[in-house]
């Protein structure tokens, strides 16, 4: 049985308040020019592309090596007959 202490309650409450305040939109009286906007959009696209390529690289490369190893193993076990 887990004991409920006031420290874990404070931690949960402070975490909830922090996340709630971070998600509440505030009015910003500022101008973002087209250069800064396009830079921000380009940066986000590059970040997403880098993350996707990293995941693909970490997943696809081991699968590719496994397929090649399996193919090499079957080629060694069952050599192809040569025509005479």
Q: 1-18, pLDDT tens digit by residue? A: 566 555 566 788 888 888
Measure the CA–CA gap between 58 and 51, rounded to whole angstroms. Answer: 11
Element at 76 (helix H, strand E): helix 34-77
Measure the CA–CA gap between 70 and 59, rounded to whole angstroms. Answer: 17
- Write down the pLDDT at residue 16: 86
Q: Average pLDDT of the chain?
A: 82
Q: Encode pLDDT of 50-76 as tens digits.
A: 999 998 889 888 888 899 988 888 877
Its pTM stands at: 0.46
């Amino acid at each position: 049985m887990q004991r409920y202490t006031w420290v874990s309650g404070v931690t949960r409450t402070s975490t909830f308040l922090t996340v709630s305040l971070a998600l509440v939109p505030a009015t910003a009286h500022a101008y973002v020019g087209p250069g800064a906007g396009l830079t921000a959009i380009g940066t986000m696209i590059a970040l997403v592309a880098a993350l996707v390529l990293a995941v693909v690289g970490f997943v696809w490369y081991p699968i590719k090596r496994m397929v090649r190893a399996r193919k090499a193993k079957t080629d060694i076990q069952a050599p192809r007959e040569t025509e005479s």
